[in-house]
A and B are shown apart, each in its own frame.
Chain A
Amino acid sequence: MKNREKKSHALRKNTLREIFRTKSRFIAIFAIIGISVGFFSGLKSSGISMLATSLKYFSDSHLMDISLLSTVGFDDEDIDEIKKLDFVDEVMPAYAADLIISRDEIDSVVKVYSVPQKTKTNRHPINEPILKEGRLPRGEGECAIESYFLGMSGYKLGDTITFNPSVEGRAATEIVKSLDFKIVGIVDSPLYLTYLRGNTTIGDGTVAFYMLIPPEQFATERYTAVYVRTNASDGRVYEFGDEYRDLVDEQKKEIEKLSLRCVDRFEATTLADAQKKLNDARTEYEEKKTEALDEISKGEKKLLDGAREFYEQTGDAQKKIDDAEKELADGKEKLEKGQQDYKTGIEEAKKKLTDAQTQYDEGLAKYNAAKLEYDTQIDEAEKKLQSAQNEFDIQYQIFYSSTKPQAETKLTLLKEATDLLMELLQKAEDKLEELKQSEILGKGVKQEIEDQEKKINEYKKKISEYQRQYEEGKQKLAEGEQQIADAKAQLDAANAELMSKKAEGAVKLNEAKTQLDSAEGQLANGRLEYETALTTGMMELQAAQTQLTEGERKLDEGKKELAAKSAEALAKLKQGREELIKGKYQAHVQLDDAEKKLDDAEGQLSSLENAKWYVNGRDYNPGYSGLAEDADRVDSVSKVFPVFFLLIAGLVCFTTMTRMVEEHRTETGTLKALGYSNTAIAMKYIIYSGAAALLGSIVGGIAGLFTLPFIIVDTYGIMYSLPATVLNINWMSYLLSSVTGIVCICLVSLFACFRDLRQTPANLMRPKAPKPGKRILLEYIKPLWNGLSFTSKVTARNLFRYKARFFMTVIGVAGCTALMVAALGLKDSTTDIADKQFNKLTMYDQIYALSEAGTSKENEYLMSQFHADEDFKSTLLANMSWGTISDKASGKSLSIRFTIGEEQKEFEKMFILRDRLSHEPVPLTDNGIVVTERTGEVFGLKEGDYITITLDEEKYSCKVTGFTENYAGCLGYMTPKYYKQLTGSELKYNVILTRLTDESRSMERDVANRYMKSDKIITVTSMVEQINTMMDMMNSLDFVILVMMFCSGLLAVVVLYNLININIAERVREIATIKVLGFYSLETANFIYRESLVLTLIGGLAGLGLGNVFATFIVESIQMDNVMFPKEVSFMSYLIAFVMTFVFSMIVNFMMYFKMNRISMVESLKSIE
């Protein structure tokens, strides 16, 4: 016994020494087991830590198991009834309401809860919120708001939140007592685990945030909600498990049963009472109405009588006035006639007078003219006569004083001249006779005869001339004398005529003068007469005028009096009437009010008639089921990865231990020869490796368990509002992985030394024959082999020499690459989807919720405004509504949002329906619906399948005609025609979707604000916020990915290090030899590296393929029903993973370089051990 102890003691010492001597080998096993166990148990604990954190939160905050909502609310009796159920531990009635607040002219719906209250039975209020800051609201006008919202809005502690005074046509004050609430606290409610705030029926349909106010601040009488804690959450069962769900489902059924009774009682008592009250009220109302109507008709009659009297009296007065007025009018008329007559008379008289005057004037003018003519004629005649007398006198004078004597002188002279000539002629005739006698005597006397003869002729001629002239003169004289006598006679005759004419004219003129004078007299008379008549007429008329004026004045006075009196009466009447109308109106208003109240009450009563309780479990809380899903997702990731880690760890350890056993071959032989049992010898290796594995699993476990869950839960904490992480160690996983690791290592060690232990000591003490060189397959392919360089041949042959190591390295490296590909692939799947979703698929920027849903015709005008707005790139009138898509066979059911666009063309601008891979458009026809790819996947749908959808509580069976690429949300599309065909009713559009020309946030707000002013638009939802939310969600996965990448890298380094280490250790002699041969350091290193690089290459390539499988698996296991992660690993990710693997390999090689340099060449001289 003692011996044995000693023996084992010595062996143990040997083992311990071995550990210290071969630190790196020990550390390798330690590290790889540590990483594997740590990663596995850490990840395995992450999911459950997340759930544990939530569960602690649930139990600390006393999260309800069942929440009740009712169409009619609850009263204390209901509460008591629920309390009586044997499984119910605690019951808390509460209030909840949806109200609207406006911030920056954008409406948000806020869910208002009553602060959870302690009751007699419970020490903690159910759903107790975590107070983050400040205090819980206690008094009037105080509220606490959620911390998540606080971060996003500008509100601070101490600010005041103001509700819109009306909510969907109801006054907000009917729901809460005041509109202003001051923020006194910041809380997190266990009802909300994520940023999801659930849906609501008002506003844009989404709750923006929640807040708590004291229950007394609710104006509603009946409780709106009841929270129940049952024995399901008393710690007996796991609250995320099926058992809990089944238990709660049963309890829900019980409560539903109870609800029927309570509803019956409600209908029998409260409702009946209310009905009776209502009926009474209606009766009273009818009576009062009749009374009031009577009074009104009485008043009306009085008023009518008064009016009649008034009109009679005023009628008489009016008649008198009318008479007077008529008389006056007559008088006026007469006066006017008199005036007219007077005027015409005057006018006539004036005319006569004027005529007479004219006549007289004419006569006078004629007389004057005649007189003037007479005078002129006489004067002229006298002048003529005078001038004739004068001329006669002159002629007479001239004739007798000069003409006659001159003529007589002349005649005498002529007589004398004739007598002289007669003498001469005689003388001449005497001479001639002498001469003529002479002639007969002689020559030369002839001429003288001729001359004498000539002279005689001339004298003779002259004498006749003178004689004629004398005769003529004598006759002329006689003629002159005659003429004068004639003129004298004529003159006298003219004188006599003038005289007679003068006398005659004078008589005529006198006569005319007399006549004129008498006419003048008459005219003067007429004028006088006229003047008199004018004056008298005028005076008469003036008198009449005065009379008339007087009459008029009197009439005016009368009229005025009447007007005053009638105005007075009228005012009185008017007042009476107004009073009556007012009274009547008031009466009617009151009556209407009363009637409306009655109707409302009746409406309320009728809405109360089909009272129903909604019994919900925890999974009704938004985000609740997502939490479990997320935890599962982490679990899924932790399923694949660590198992792979352990596998690689096993492989690495196997190689390591095999190597170790080989190295200790001689020792084993010696020990065997010394008589140690196989078991004792094997124990060394088992203890060695077991110790490494144990230490590794402890250290790795601690490191993994105390870091990973915190990192991962905290990362998810970005999405969830959970309190500090509660570490829940998955001991099973830890133990399982540790034990598996340790056992594997021990078995591997055992297996490794088993081969040696079977041999005889002598055999063992001989050096093991080196593994014989062998031709490899490649060599038989001569052309290829010969083409290789010498070093390549060496590498190739070495690679295939140790097949186990070859495969191990390849698997190890492949594993690392695969893990990285998977991690990067996961990132690929999650990164772009927000961008793709909102920038490539659903491209609308804003949703304008219409205050009233209407047909396209009803929205025509509004749409024309939208169409005309240049701030919109496109606008679409659409119906967006939530429904359910369900499959009876699988029992699956999902919320689905249907979008039905009015115009196909605009629709296509907002929604890209396409196949994810081919990007082929998916047509939306009038024959069916198009759903998102993920939805199809969840329900296992094929094109042309029928699926049940629920819209407005009605179930329809739809044909699915296509699946479209989509990442976020469960969405469905159909055409208005198909909708009509499906539901049989005309589609009412409830939203307008827009794409903005300028997508900046400020622009978006501007446009939204502009339209929020319209009473047609109730809310505007910006897609920017949604994108951000989704980005956050996706980013939280990044951390998990980073952890995976880190661990993969670590694994890669450890695996490669270990393998290269072994490789070098085994080939120390070879390396030393080639050094002796004169290989430089780098050449020596390359001798080894080339192999590891080829192994990395092969492993890396294999890893890419494996990684794709991994990535698909992981993405499959983490994706949600309404979020699709594309199972695509990008080329970049493959490249990065591949390059990273090489980088890790290089790092390891670099580390090995020094190790190889340190190998002494003296080794080569040692004998083979």
Chain B
Amino acid sequence: MQKDFVRFENVYKRYKMGEVTITAADGVTFSIDEGEFAVVVGLSGAGKTTVLNILGGIDSCDEGKIIVGGRDISRLGKHDLASYRRYDIGFVFQFYNLVPNLTAKENVELATQICRDHLDAESVLESVGLGDRKNNFPSQLSGGEQQRVSIARALAKKPKLLLCDEPTGALDYNTGKSILKLLQTKCREDGMTVVLITHNSAITPMANRVIRMRSGRVESNKVNPAPMPIEQIEW
């Protein structure tokens, strides 16, 4: 397991909103080891989404270095970034972002078809417990199911890094719990590095590492030596 698999070094991100400059990431520095389940927690506007976006190659930073698996992605060009997203990153969105016109299986295939080394769409769907819903359209699935499809889509690419942006934000408590369970299982069983952002501090005990953010800065970066199984966590 590589240490400091993900490393942020003094990362800045500023948004210009008219005349006002908002500094979303104000010298963010942290690192995550490989295979860890890391949770980035903070209030709205603390810069956690910005960090995730930059880490996922969706957004760029203005200053600093982001090293993922020994590679500095902060200097990558557009095309390399796309490749980085394609082969290294799996993204799970808060609102699932499934293509409504595609079935569950097709949504997974949408990801796998561009990957050289990928998992079989159907088996991934089965592994997330949707083996029998693979031919349903998103509109025919519940929110949790849709999120599972989303996770399946992310996992199918065999990413090095699974990034989840409030994956339970649009889900009810139990469904959310089951999704988190799925993610924890995937992390533990497959050794997948998972970075999850949430505003809900309650779920931090399940993580290997908890990074707290406030006003664009990393408040704390703690390793949890004994993460709790999700079933034991109540909030």
Contacts and interface: CB of A to CB of B under 8 A. Distances in A.
B59 A1162 contact: yes
Contacts of B58: 1076, 1161-1162, 1164-1165
B139 A1076 contact: no
Contacts of A798: 101
A235 to B, nearest CB: 65
Contact of B102 (A797, A1072, A1078, A1161): A797
Contact of B103 (A773, A1069, A1080): A773
A578 to B, nearest CB: 122
Given A790-B106, A1076-B58, A1078-B85, A1167 B94 contact: yes
Choose among B89, B97, B102 the residue with the greatest number of A CB atoms under 10 Å from its CB. Answer: B97
A629 interface: no
Contacts of B93: 1073, 1076, 1164-1165
Contact of A1076 (B79, B87, B91, B101): B91
A1078 B86 contact: yes
B16 interface: no
Nearest to A791: B113
B139 A770 contact: yes
B62 to A, nearest CB: 15
A1086 to B, nearest CB: 12
Contacts of A797: 101-102
Nearest to B90: A1077
A1075 interface: yes
B22 interface: no
B91 A769 contact: no
Contacts of A773: 99-103, 137-139
Nearest to A1079: B114
B228 interface: no
A984 interface: no
Interface in A1123-1166: 1161-1162, 1164-1165
A1077 B59 contact: no
Contact of B56 (A771, A1074, A1076): A1076
B106 A1165 contact: no
Contacts of B140: 772
B5 to A, nearest CB: 19
Contacts of B106: 790, 793-794
A773 B141 CA distance: 11
A774 B82 contact: no
B171 interface: no
Contacts of B95: 1167-1168
A1081 B78 contact: yes
Interface in A1061-1091: 1069-1070, 1072-1081, 1083
Contacts of A770: 100, 138-139
B178 interface: no
Contacts of A1081: 78-79, 82
B87 to A, nearest CB: 7
A502 interface: no
Interface in A953-991: none
Given A1162-B59, A1164-B93, A1165-B53, A1075 B82 contact: yes
Nearest to B89: A1078
Choose among B106, B110, B139 the residue with the greatest number of A CB atoms under 10 Å from its CB. Answer: B110
Interface in B113-158: 113-115, 137-140, 153, 157
Interface string B26-45: 00000000000000000000
Nearest to A800: B101
B49 interface: yes
Given A1073-B93, A1078-B83, A1083 B114 contact: yes
A1077 B53 contact: no
Interface string B67-86: 00000000000110011111
A186 to B, nearest CB: 69
A1117 to B, nearest CB: 45
Contacts of B94: 1165, 1167
A797 B102 CA distance: 8
B78 A790 contact: no
A801 interface: yes
A556 B103 CA distance: 152
Given A1165-B53, A1165-B93, A1077 B102 contact: no
Contacts of A1167: 94-95
A1078 B100 contact: no
Contacts of A1080: 79, 82-83
A581 to B, nearest CB: 120
Nearest to A774: B137
A527 to B, nearest CB: 168
A1077 B100 contact: no
A928 B115 CA distance: 80
Contacts of B103: 773
B99 to A, nearest CB: 6
A1161 B55 CA distance: 13
Choose among B84, B100, B113 the residue with the greatest number of A CB atoms under 10 Å from its CB. Answer: B100
Contacts of A1076: 56, 58, 85, 91, 93, 97
A774 B85 CA distance: 29
B122 to A, nearest CB: 14
Interface in A760-804: 769-774, 790-791, 793-794, 797-798, 801
B108 to A, nearest CB: 11
Nearest to B91: A1076
A538 to B, nearest CB: 159
Contacts of A1079: 82, 86, 114
B109 A790 contact: yes
B78 to A, nearest CB: 7
A771 B85 contact: no
B111 interface: yes
Contacts of B86: 1077-1079
B137 A1162 contact: no
Interface in A601-619: none
B85 A772 contact: no
A1073 B97 contact: yes
Contacts of A801: 101
Nearest to B159: A1078
Contacts of A794: 99, 101-102, 106, 110
Contacts of A769: 139
B137 A1078 contact: no
Choose among A771, A774, A1070 the residue with the greatest number of B CB atoms under 10 Å from its CB. Answer: A1070
B165 to A, nearest CB: 6
Nearest to B86: A1078
Nearest to B137: A773
Contacts of A1164: 58, 93, 97
Nearest to B97: A1073
B198 to A, nearest CB: 14
Given A772-B137, A1076-B91, A1069 B97 contact: yes
Interface in A151-206: none
B82 A1078 contact: yes
Given A772-B139, A773-B102, A794-B101, A1078 B87 contact: yes
Which 6 residue pairs of A and B lie closest in terms of their CB atoms, listed nearest first? A1078-B86, A772-B139, A773-B137, A1078-B85, A1161-B58, A1073-B97
30 contacts: A770-B138, A772-B100, A772-B139, A772-B140, A773-B101, A773-B103, A790-B113, A793-B106, A794-B101, A1070-B99, A1074-B99, A1075-B82, A1076-B58, A1076-B91, A1076-B97, A1077-B86, A1077-B110, A1077-B114, A1077-B153, A1078-B85, A1078-B86, A1080-B82, A1081-B79, A1081-B82, A1161-B58, A1164-B97, A1165-B53, A1165-B94, A1167-B94, A1167-B95
Interface of A: 769-774, 790-791, 793-794, 797-798, 801, 1069-1070, 1072-1081, 1083, 1161-1162, 1164-1165, 1167-1168
Given A1070-B99, A1081-B79, A1081-B82, 18 more contacts: A773-B100, A790-B109, A790-B110, A791-B113, A794-B102, A794-B110, A1073-B93, A1073-B99, A1075-B82, A1077-B91, A1077-B157, A1078-B85, A1078-B111, A1079-B86, A1081-B78, A1083-B114, A1162-B58, A1164-B58
